[in-house]
Amino acid sequence: MLFYFIYVFVAPILLPLLFFFSFFSQKLNIRRILTCKIIGVAKQGILKNRNGRKVIIFHAASTGEFEQLVPILKLVKRDQFYIILSFFSPTVYLKMNQTSLADGVCFHPYDLIIYSFLFFKKLNPNQYVVVRHDIWPTHILMAKLFKVKTTLINANLYSESLRLKSPFILFNRWVFKNFNQILTPSYRIAKNFNKLLPHSEIIVTGDSRFDQMLFRKKNNKQPSIFSDTNRVKTIIFGSINESDYDIIFQALKQFFPKGDASLKEKKIKLIVVPHEVDHKTIDEIVCMLKGLNMEPTLHSQNNKSKVNVAIVDSIGILADLYKHCDLAYIGGGFGKDKIFGQSGVHSVIEPCAYELITCYGPNIKILDEAIEMVEEGIGFVIQNSSEMISCFTMLGNEIKALQLKQKMKDYLSLKLGSSVKISNYIT
């Protein structure tokens, strides 16, 4: 409780600073405006057609968390439950305002007592469901005071998290203890939660992201970036950042010594998808590729000529591009830990869903499925450029590729159906 009282007193001090800086940041400014309006918006429009239905607030921080909710929301009986979606990302809130998957959409207010109180007072929910990480201590406490059932789904807690280290463990133990239900994707994560909450039941339901990805795969209409893909293998570098550059470009230099000429000779094409899409990043990648005698094209130019290298300079299509690829390197695995230990490899579910040869850097401790894939022999941790080249050579081994595809199919079949389990616990 001591840490919470410190948190309560610190939060109001930080808020004026956020409001001040909001005048210099468009995103913060939108948050400031939406925070000031949220209760009024909730009061005016969200609960008009409740009609006696139980109200469930599903809170998702941003797009990634919302994607995890999609297969669950489709299973909720709308004649019995009134669904409210809340987002902390202003961009996603404005984009999803008219979604058919919910009866109402609102912006999630800052974690101050007054905002939390009004949030639950005005919306009067029966249940408050949080996805994965975006946990607001005051909101959890306020939900308890209002006798609102609280559920954490797709909950993640890795073994080296600061949440499990002293003195943070005391605060986090108190916060997580206030959840009525904690639903985790795997027994490994459940064991980590048991370290935090030794006398609490942690429920293993699986991860709804697999259900959503398989659904997205079935409905994928993303065209290929290249016009001439016949008898050609494609390597994609997904969500890469500066920490990945040395390994990637060293491997490309060694495996394709003559640049474009080597790519043509080996019948391989490259797709590069940076994690951050901005002019500086794109220009830097273009410069490095040209230094390897490769002439890249930008996806935004919509140029389907017979090029060998494409750079994706738009967002939102990476998951669907895996459809047209044979090998994926997933970025982030060489990143250094941030202050709260949340740095590491990005999502590996999408390339797995498309049964690609998948490799990534060694920092995988925050991503349970990346660890599982290594254990199952369908994901490959690389330490250097030589090991990346070893993955490249798998493209020429058809027998190995077919064996990997079958192993991935078997792995995915065990992962499906979690959305049904989660929705049953919620409803």
Q: Does domain 25-212+418-426 have CATH number 3.40.50.300?
A: no
Q: Structure pTM?
A: 0.89
Alpha-carbon gap, residue 150 to 129, rounded angstroms: 6
- 166/25: higher pLDDT: 166
H or E segment at 311? strand 309-311
Q: What are 57's two structure tokens?
A: 């607030």
Q: Does domain 233-414 have CATH number 3.40.50.2000?
A: yes
Q: Is 279 left (phi over 0), alpha (psi -120 to 50) or beta?
A: alpha
Domain residue ranges of the chain, discontinuous segments joined by +: 25-212+418-426, 233-414
Pairing of strands 327-330, 309-311: unpaired
Q: From the centroid of its chain, how far is CA 19?
A: 27
Q: Tell me: the pLDDT tens digits for 135-152?
A: 999 999 999 999 999 999
- 77/230: higher pLDDT: 77
Q: What are 403's two structure tokens?
A: 């064996």
pLDDT, residue 41, reads 47
3-state secondary structure of 50: coil
Alpha-carbon gap, residue 50 to 111, rounded angstroms: 26
Alpha-carbon gap, residue 97 to 106, rounded angstroms: 8
3-state secondary structure of 333: coil
pLDDT, residue 243, reads 95
Whether the pLDDT of residue 94 is over 70: the answer is: yes
Are the folds of 25-212+418-426 and 233-414 the same? yes
Q: What are 123's two structure tokens?
A: 């919306």
